[in-house]
Each structure stands twice: as structure tokens, then as C-alpha cells.
Structure 1
Amino acid sequence: MGQDIHPKLNLPVSDFAVRKRDSKDEIFDTIRNQWLVLTPEEWVRQHMVRYLINHLGYPAGLTAIEKGFDLNGIPYRADIVTYDRSGSALLAVECKAPGIRINQKTFDQIGQYNKVIRAHHLAVTNGLTHYCVSIGERGQWAQADTIPAFAEPEESEGK
């Protein structure tokens, strides 16, 4: 149903539970365990989550979708945040609809979010184009060729 009307993305194809309710397509989010309106951005978000879990090894139990937080007293939500087993953020992802172009404003947005999230890697995607940066010890950004696979931090880190 929904997969026929939503664009093919530059992410692996996944099987999603999709239904029509009140004349709107909905998709089942297995992380939040609920049905959501299938917007173009949600289509990208669900594909990216499946990619992270099924292809890059991020544990579903350590993945949050639309994670709420406050920045300077204003509530925000990060699209996807993955964590290591100690609860530190590894990766934050900002998802846009396929028709939205990724630009500096998108990076500025996730950069602002990361002041609170403090992830080691940031990614932005519209489902067609993906960019990822790694955050260095001094906060400098370095472009990464790919989104990194899940890996626990080295035991020696932070000691």
C-alpha cells in the first residue's frame, strides 16, 4: 500500500506494516510500538532506523526515535539517537523528506541538538542523500565516508 506511493530511497528495502486508517496511510513503528501517519519524513525515518538496526548492527533496544530534550528551555526532538550500553549517545540522525534538500541549515540543526545529545557521530539524510560527520575530542567535525557500524567504545576510553 504505502510503499507504492512513496519514493524509492537510497536505503535498503524493508518490509513495513502499512495500513490505511481514516483515509491516511499509517506505518507501524517497531521501536515505539505504535502506528504513525506515514508522512514522507516518516518514510525516511523508518527506512533509516531499519538500516541502522538490520545492516549496521545498532541494537533496537539502544535506539530512540523522536527523542525529546530541552535546549535553552525550548523542547526539541531528535529524529534518531542510538546509544552504547552505558547510555552514551553514539549517533544522532536528522531525517528530512525526500523532497527536502540537505543544506547547511540541516547540519546547523543537528549541531545545535548535539550540544545536548553529545553523540560521537551526526548524520543527516533525506533518504536519497546521506551525510555523516564524526565529532573529535575537541568538538571538531570530520566528514565520514559512511555512517559507522555499531561498536561499543573502547574499554580504555574515559579512564
Structure 2
Amino acid sequence: MYQLNLPVFDYKLKKADGKVWIFDVIRKKYVVITPEEWVRQHFIHYLITHFKYPRSLVKVEGGLIYNKLQKRSDILVFDREGNPWMIVECKAPTLLLSENTLRQAAVYNATLKAKYLTVTNGLMYVCSATDWAQGTTVVLEELPIYEEGI
């Protein structure tokens, strides 16, 4: 797998059906490892371990409807009232984070209206905060620590 710019964690791998699987602590099952899944698992552990995001408020591959189309968010973090708080879109490390990539994620967020939107390829990330009442968005220098961002 790819070397990422995220802290290493104690992951569990297995081989079955000619594929390599990684254990997802949120879904509590093994999933086929792809470059995007590798990034997603590292980023989940980064959020939980370094930024104190409660594991119980993190959802992986949550469904959403946009323009009558069924879409899936990679990581969705909820606030303590159960509202979308942060959407994280994970891309393969070989994919550059472009304006189009960020725009696509922002379109998804137009449905959920999470305060924070993050896009990562495991090598870098871009996180923005939106004030939906004011209609403004700012790019943040760092990810918010969960309790501070509530």
C-alpha cells in the first residue's frame, strides 16, 4: 500500500478470496482494501486518536440523496445532537486534490449542511468551515478538535 502523510496505526489485515481486507473499527468488519479505503482507515484513526472524535459519532459510507441521485459520503461525523458536523471525502493517494474535487465534495455538503468539510488523499487534506446562516466558507489551517468545534 501507499505511504501516507498520516500517523501509522495498528491495523489488522487478512487475505481471503484472493484479496486483502482491512478491519474497519467503525463498521466492525473487514472490508476490501483499495487505495481509497487505505486512506479512509488511516484518516478515521487520525480523527479518533489525535483529534478526539468520538468513535460512536462517526459513520462510514453514509448514504445521501443529491439531485434525486443516491450518493455516499466516505466519513460522516455527527455532533452530539445527531446532526451532520463534518463530512470527509477520501481520495486515492494518486489523485491530486483539485478545485473540481473540492467542488464535488461541497456539492454533497449542500444536502447535509455539515459545518466542516474535509477532502483528503492521505498525503494532504483541505478542511473548510461553513457558516450556513451567513453563507460564508473559510479554509482552515488545521482540523478542528471535536470538543472545540462543537
Same fold judged by TM-score > 0.5?
Answer: yes
Q: Identical aligned pairs, as a percentage?
A: 41
Q: CA deviation at 1:109?
A: 1.1
- 2:31 aligned residue: 36
Largest Rg, 1 or 2: 1
Deviation at 1:139, TM superposition (A): 2.6
Could you tell me how far apart the structure 1 residues matched to 2:65 and 2:108 are? 9
Q: 1:124 aligns with which of 114, 119, 122?
A: 119
* CA–CA distance in structure 2, aligned partners of residues 46 and 13 of structure 1: 10
Structure 1 gaps, min length 5:
1-5, 155-159
SS of the residue corresponding to residue 27 of structure 1 reads strand
Counterpart of 2:57? 62
User: Is this contact kept in 2: 1:123–1:133, CA < 8 A?
Assistant: yes
Task: Compute the displacement of 1:84 (Å).
Answer: 1.0
Cα distance in 1, alignment partners of residues 100 and 149 from structure 2: 30
- Give the TM-score taking structure 2 as reference length: 0.95
Map 1:81-96 to 2 at 5 A: 81-96=76-91
Shift of 1:7: 1.5
**TM-superposition CA deviations, 1:3-27 (whole Å, max 9, x none):** xxx1121111101110111121100
Q: Deviations over 1:53-78 (max 9, x none)?
A: 11101101100111101112100001
CA distance in 2, matches of 1:72, 1:8: 36
Residues of 1 paired with 2:146 and 2:28: CA distance? 22
- State the superposition RMSD in angstroms: 1.3
2:140 to 141, 144, 152: 144
Contact 1:134 1:142 (C-alpha < 8 Å) held by counterparts:
yes
Classify the secondary structure of the residue corresponding to 1:45: helix
Give the whole-Å Cα distance in 2 for the aligned partners of 1:147 and 1:55.
Answer: 10
Distance in 2, matches of 1:115 and 1:47, equals: 26
Q: Aligned-pair distance for 1:107? A: 0.9
Q: How many residues align?
A: 149
**TM-score calculated relative to the size of structure 1:** 0.89
